[in-house]
Amino acid sequence: MSRRAATLTAASVLVLVLALVGSLMPVPYVTLMPGPTQNTLADNAKGEPLIAIDGRQTYPTEGNLNFTTVTYRGGPGGRIDLLTALRGWLDGDTAVVPEETIFPDDESPEEVDEQNTRQMRDSQEDAEAAALRELGIPVGTRVVVDSVQKGRPADGKLKAGDEITAVNGTAVTKVQQVSDIMNGVRPGETVTLTVRRDGDESRQRIPTTKGPDGGAVVGVVLAGDYKFPFEIDISIGDIGGPSAGLIFSLAIIDKLTPGPLTGGRFVAGTGTITPDGRVGPIGGIEQKMIAARRAGATVFLTPKGNCAAAVEARPDGLRLVRTDTLKDARQALNALTTGKGTVPSCTG
* pLDDT the model gives residue 19: 46
| Cα 27 to Cα 23, 34, 127, 191, 262, distances in angstroms | 10, 21, 38, 54, 44
Segment 34-61 mean pLDDT:
92
pLDDT tens, position by position, 323-344? 999 999 999 999 999 888 889 9
Q: Do the Cβ atoms of 220 and 195 come closer than 8 Å?
A: no
Q: Do the Cβ atoms of 272 and 245 come closer than 8 Å?
A: yes
260 bridge partner residues: none
Q: Which of 51-55, 84-88, 235-239 has the lowest mean pLDDT?
A: 84-88
pLDDT tens, position by position, 3-22? 554 455 544 544 444 444 44
Segment 242-249 mean pLDDT:
93
Tell me the whole-structure pTM to 2 decimals. Answer: 0.81
Distance between CA atoms of residues 175 and 221, nearest Å: 10
Tell me if residue 235 is catalytic: no
Which one of 157, 243, 249, 255 is the catalytic residue? 243
Distance between CA atoms of residues 68 and 212, nearest Å: 42
* pLDDT the model gives residue 18: 46
pLDDT tens, position by position, 118-132? 778 888 999 999 999
* pLDDT the model gives residue 22: 45
Task: Give residue 212's pLDDT band: very low, low, confident or very high (50, 70, 90).
Answer: confident
| Cα 109 to Cα 81, 96, 106, 177, distances in angstroms | 18, 18, 10, 35
Domain 140-227, second-level architecture: Roll (2.30)
Judged by DSSP in three states, 251 sits in helix
Which of residues 116 and 281 earns the better pLDDT score?
Answer: 281
Segment 226-245 mean pLDDT:
87
Which of residues 88 and 183 earns the better pLDDT score?
Answer: 183
Distance between CA atoms of residues 227 and 141, nearest Å: 5
* pLDDT the model gives residue 6: 47
- CATH code for the part of the protein at 29-137+230-338: 3.30.230.10
CATH 2.30.42.10 in the chain is located at 140-227
Segment 254-258 mean pLDDT:
96
Which one of 123, 249, 255, 288 is the catalytic residue? 288
What is the pLDDT of the chain when averaged over all its residues? 86
Task: Give residue 106's pLDDT band: very low, low, confident or very high (50, 70, 90).
Answer: low
* pLDDT the model gives residue 15: 43
Tell me if residue 249 is catalytic: no
Q: Is a pLDDT exceeding 80 seen at residue 200?
A: yes
Distance between CA atoms of residues 275 and 229, nearest Å: 15
Q: Which of 101-105, 170-174, 189-193, 300-304 has the lowest mean pLDDT?
A: 101-105
CATH 3.30.230.10 in the chain is located at 29-137+230-338
Segment 83-97 mean pLDDT:
71
Q: Which of 81-90, 179-188, 297-306 has the lowest mean pLDDT?
A: 81-90
Q: What is the largest CA-CA distance in the chain?
A: 97
Helix axes 82-90, 3-24, angle to 10 degrees: 100
* pLDDT the model gives residue 94: 75
* pLDDT the model gives residue 112: 65
Which of residues 275 and 120 earns the better pLDDT score?
Answer: 275
Task: Give residue 74's pLDDT band: very low, low, confident or very high (50, 70, 90).
Answer: confident
